[in-house]
């Protein structure tokens, strides 16, 4: 279908490469150069996962590269870090699905039942605020509030609990991390559901009311079914990200005392790769993560296409 252009634009009158063609194609150059350098070259750079990469070498110096096959992958899978980071990553992802994914939905359903428009707008705007607080500030607040003589321990003290250093507690860490994530995102993530709900035809509610449906039945039989498909698509997309945690936040909140529950693939790659300088090894760990993520996305996308008729491709 690319042999001849359809008629309609002025440039199609010439068969050769005209000045207008040059104008048109030259517009690709700025972004294309950046995409090649910063997206495609790193893809090529994945080959270091199969080498013993020497720091300072170029990705393209293949003659001096020492190829080691799957050595780094085997090392990772056989190390204690494999099960630890994998389990921690999946634990945090599942907790995110249980709380981070559901809270925006419930929040949107709840707020839709608020009838005073100004009050509704106020709560909505307030709920977006944490999204505009930077990750560093959010983490800083969490760390301060959780200090032994901090806000949280003071409040728990009123209930008679002894002060504890929760941030150093491996059992508390997943909850702290999840709560911070939910707090930062629930309002903003509910926008999608708000907008979908506001697009529902008001006549549906009217006729339901005439049929004698009470408020709860209206929610259950009109509002929920109307957003169900958005929920399904979002859920499928989340499944593809099950090995991706919020490394930006984790790196700020975790510490060696909580590694047993807080060390995820993202933080491990950062610590051992960037700080430890084991580039080839961590490139292999990163590739392992990407391949699984890609496979999961692929499978869930297939399922989504089957169930909802919508998918990423």
Partner 1 sequence: MTKDSPAVTNKKNRIREGSRAADAVIYLIAALAAFLCLYPLYYVFVLSLSEPMVAATMRVYWWPKGFYTGGYSRILTDSRLWISYRNTIFYAIVQALGMLFTCCTFAYPLSVKGLKGRKFVNIFLLTPMYISGGTIPRFLLILQTGLYNTMWALILPGIYSVWYIILVRSYFGTIPESLREAARIDGASHYQTLWNVYIPTSKPILAVIALYTIVGVWNSWFRPALYLTSQNLQPLQLYLRRILVENSINLSEEMASDELVAAAMAQRVSNNQLKYTVIIVSSLPMLIAYPFFQQYFVKGVMLGSLKE
Instruction: For residue 158, state whether it binds partner 1 (rule: CB under 8 A).
Output: no
What part of residues 211-270 is at the interface with partner 1 (CB under 8 A)? 214-216, 218, 230, 247-248, 251-252, 266, 269-270
Are 281 and 76 a contacting pair, CB within 8 Å?
A: yes
Residue 4 has φ and ψ, to the nearest 5°, of -125, 140
Instruction: For residue 79, state whether it binds partner 1 (rule: CB under 8 A).
Output: no
> Which two tokens mark 180?
């911070």
Vertex 280 angle, CA 274 and 282, to 5°:
55
Q: How far is the CB of 265 from partner 1 (least distance, A)?
A: 10
Instruction: For residue 163, state whether it binds partner 1 (rule: CB under 8 A).
Output: no
In whole angstroms, give the CA distance from residue 313 to residue 302. Answer: 9
Q: How far is the CB of 247 from partner 1 (least distance, A)?
A: 7
What part of residues 265-304 is at the interface with partner 1 (CB under 8 A)? 266, 269-270, 273-274, 279, 282-283, 286-287, 289-290, 294, 297
CB-based burial of residue 211 (10 Å sphere; 0-12 exposed, 13-18 middle, 19+ buried)? exposed
> Which two tokens mark 4?
């001849």
In whole angstroms, give the CA distance from residue 278 to residue 52. Answer: 9
Among 133, 220, 257, 307, binds partner 1 (CB under 8 A): 133
Among 90, 97, 123, 232, binds partner 1 (CB under 8 A): 123
In whole angstroms, give the CA distance from residue 197 to residue 207. Answer: 17
Q: How far is the CB of 294 from partner 1 (least distance, A)?
A: 7
Q: How far is the CB of 115 from partner 1 (least distance, A)?
A: 4
Q: How far is the CB of 125 from partner 1 (least distance, A)?
A: 6
Among 54, 87, 94, 129, binds partner 1 (CB under 8 A): 129
In whole angstroms, give the CA distance from residue 193 to residue 103. Answer: 11
> Which two tokens mark 148?
């032994």
Closest to partner 1 by CB, 169 vs 247, is 247
- With contacts defined by CB under 8 A, name the span among 68-76, 85-93, 169-177, 208-216 that binds partner 1: 208-216
DSSP code at position 51: B
Instruction: For residue 119, state whether it binds partner 1 (rule: CB under 8 A).
Output: yes
């Amino acid at each position: 279908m690319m042999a001849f252009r359809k008629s309609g634009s002025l440039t199609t009158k010439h068969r050769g490469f005209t000045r207008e063609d040059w104008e048109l194609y030259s517009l690709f150059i700025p972004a294309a150069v950046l995409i090649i350098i910063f997206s495609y070259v790193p893809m090529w750079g994945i080959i270091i996962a199969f080498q013993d990469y020497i720091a300072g070498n170029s990705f393209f110096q293949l003659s001096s590269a020492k190829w080691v096959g799957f050595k780094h992958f085997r090392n990772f899978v056989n190390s204690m870090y494999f099960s630890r980071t994998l389990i921690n990553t999946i634990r945090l992802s599942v907790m995110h699905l249980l709380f981070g994914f559901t809270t925006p939905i419930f929040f949107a359903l709840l707020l839709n039942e608020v009838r005073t428009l100004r009050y509704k707008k106020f709560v909505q705007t307030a709920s977006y605020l944490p999204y505009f607080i930077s990750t560093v500030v959010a983490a800083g607040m969490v760390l301060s509030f959780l200090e032994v003589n901090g806000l949280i321990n003071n409040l728990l003290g009123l209930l008679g609990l002894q002060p504890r250093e929760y941030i150093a507690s491996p059992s508390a860490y997943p909850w702290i991390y999840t709560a911070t994530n939910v707090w930062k995102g629930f309002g903003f993530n509910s926008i999608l559901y708000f907008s979908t709900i506001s697009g529902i035809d008001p006549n549906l509610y009217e006729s339901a009311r005439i049929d004698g449906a009470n408020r709860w039945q209206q929610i259950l039989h009109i509002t929920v079914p109307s957003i169900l498909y958005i929920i399904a698509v979002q859920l499928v997309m989340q499944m593809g990200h099950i090995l991706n945690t919020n490394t930006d936040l984790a790196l700020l909140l975790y510490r060696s005392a909580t590694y047993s529950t807080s060390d995820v693939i993202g933080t491990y790659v950062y610590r051992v790769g960037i700080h430890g300088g084991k580039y080839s090894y961590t490139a292999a760990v990163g590739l392992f993560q990407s391949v699984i993520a890609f496979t999961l996305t692929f499978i869930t996308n297939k399922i989504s296409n089957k169930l909802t008729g919508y998918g990423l491709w």
